[in-house]
Amino acid sequence: MRNRARFAAHPMLIVFPLGLLVTAVVLDALHYVTGGHDFAVSGAYTTAAGVIGGSFAAMFGWVDWFSIPPGTRARRVGLLHGLINAAMLALFAVSWILRLNEGTWQPTGTSVILALVGLVLAVHGGWLGAELVERLGVGVDEDAGLDAASPLKHTARPSPRLSGT
């Protein structure tokens, strides 16, 4: 649980797909309100970027999940979190494919519904992700605390051989 680089990758990467996918839904809403075709095209490209970025972030999520000890609640919550987010990405991917078939990037009724359900799943999955970190302590350094030293500082631990015991 002390591998900082591994636990840092997933939380840093997930902000991009979350932001992109929410933006995609906003762009589609603007398309419906204004009728502007450019909003529809931007929404389609933003959805694609979100799905690609999310799949990349998810790979690191699975790597982190495998290092959670089996039989713990964190392992079960992590699995649920991973499956919900995988389903969320699949919904956005199908939503994008439906628009591709349109030929004009125009969102269809089904593609909008899939994206909205995906958004609900993203909120639920994000909630569980926060629970993993903030309540279950996954990826939290053993030395964490309000006055913990900077991770960049070399905090030498006394060697058992030199401690004189």
Binding site for ligand HEM (CB under 6 A): 7, 10-11, 14, 17-18, 54, 57-58, 61-62, 64-65, 78, 81-82, 85-86, 89, 125-126, 129-130, 132-133, 138-139
22 or 29: CB nearest ligand HEM = 22
Inter-residue contact 31 to 40 (CB < 8 Å): yes
32 or 66: CB nearest ligand HEM = 66
Surface-to-core class of residue 59, CB atoms within 10 Å of its CB (0-12 exposed, 13-18 middle, 19+ buried): exposed
82 or 107: CB nearest ligand HEM = 82
Instruction: Specify the amino acid at residue 151.
Output: P
The nearest distance, CB 12 to ligand HEM, in angstroms, is 9
Surface-to-core class of residue 153, CB atoms within 10 Å of its CB (0-12 exposed, 13-18 middle, 19+ buried): exposed
**105: helix, strand or coil:** coil
Axis crossing angle, helix 37-66 with helix 73-102, rounded to the nearest 10: 150
The nearest distance, CB 146 to ligand HEM, in angstroms, is 18
The nearest distance, CB 96 to ligand HEM, in angstroms, is 15
The nearest distance, CB 53 to ligand HEM, in angstroms, is 8
